[in-house]
Amino acid sequence: MNKKTIIITGVSRGIGKAIAQKFMEEGFNVVGVSRRKPKYKITHYIQADLTEEDSREKVIDETVRRFGRIDILVNNAGIGIYESWEDMSIKELLKVFEVDFFAPVHLTQLALPYIKESKGTVINISSVAGELYVPYKSGYTAAKHALHAFSETLRMETKEYGINVITVTVGNVKTGFTLSAYGTKNPILLPFPGKRKELADKIYNAYIKRKSKLTYPSWYRAFIIFSKLFPKGYEHIIMRIWDRSFKKKRAIRQFQENLYGLNKTLKVVKYDKKSEVKYSKFSGSKQLKILK
């Protein structure tokens, strides 16, 4: 019998790489898609920019020509945008929607005839930002909410063909994701990041057990439920977190500016408990003097 074939987008690094390696271990034909070539062993690599419609068609055509079947499609490739709505560039927002939403929808449409034939699976890698409202991650939140809605309704519409759809809600996993995001409002670093390999194992288990949802790390489920039950409490907490984070980041930026501007006498900025930015001076000795 032919080996099962899985298409995974965004395989050059991060979560996509871990999923590709897991399915390689499990003996699948793994077709990986990204703009940069992965630096590990994969059955077949297709270079594609998923913002382009032609590239999406190439991914499905090439896979079917080469392997004759599609059993699983993993819509993993994604990009973030961290900006306020006021300052958001529409050009960048469109790019985010192309990668995070339109590419998954289009690839699924193109792959669906083959996935129907194999009674296969579509796995959409979403985010807690697809279930929570996160300020300054606003564009990304909107794109992941759209992906989430697509994923959940796709399951209902394709159940009659024996297709399973898994929506994966990822909380925080250490990858280069935040570095490649658009925008100026760099996100806060969330505590207790999960591990890529563990997530890939859980995705594989969810596929085998034909689960419909997976949240990783699992404690994010409690946070999501809290936000639905106590929306005002959630809004208060999330705004406080951002407020503190912005002040801290502003202080660090100021520190860096002073550092480069003052040559040997360094001026540093310290963030105090009452959310006030205070200036500190450090010159020669290790003593730290608060200037206010």
Ligand X SMILES: NC(=O)c1ccc[n+]([C@@H]2O[C@H](COP(=O)([O-])OP(=O)(O)OC[C@H]3O[C@@H](n4cnc5c(N)ncnc54)[C@H](OP(=O)(O)O)[C@@H]3O)[C@@H](O)[C@H]2O)c1
Query: Under the criterion CB under 6 A, does residue 206 sit at the interface with ligand X?
Result: no
Among 127, 141, 258, 280, the residue binding ligand X under the rule CB under 6 A is 127
For residue 144, indicate whether it is catalytic: yes
Per DSSP (E only), the strands in the chain are 5-9, 29-34, 44-47, 72-75, 121-127, 164-170, 213-216, 266-271, 277-282, 289-290
Q: How far is the CB of 184 from ligand X (least distance, A)?
A: 18
Residues 191, 173: Cα–Cα separation, whole Å: 10
Q: Which is the catalytic residue, given 144, 185, 202, 280?
A: 144
Per CB under 6 A, which of residues 70..99 are in contact with ligand X? 76-79, 99
For residue 195, indicate whether it is catalytic: no
10 or 183: CB nearest ligand X: 10
* Structure tokens belonging to residue 256: 């860096």
Per CB under 6 A, which of residues 218..277 are in contact with ligand X? none
The piece of 29-37, 60-68, 241-249, 265-273 that touches ligand X (CB under 6 A) is 29-37
Query: Under the criterion CB under 6 A, does residue 203 sit at the interface with ligand X?
Result: no
- DSSP assignment of 33-44 equals EESSPPSS--SE
The piece of 14-22, 113-121, 201-209, 242-250 that touches ligand X (CB under 6 A) is 14-22
Burial class (CB in 10 A: 0-12, 13-18, 19+), 225: exposed
- DSSP assignment of 169-201 equals EE--B-SSGGGG-BSS-PPPPPSS-B-HHHHHH
Question: Would you tell me which residues interact with ligand X (CB under 6 A)?
Answer: 9-16, 34-36, 48-51, 76-79, 99, 125, 127, 170, 172-173, 175-177, 180
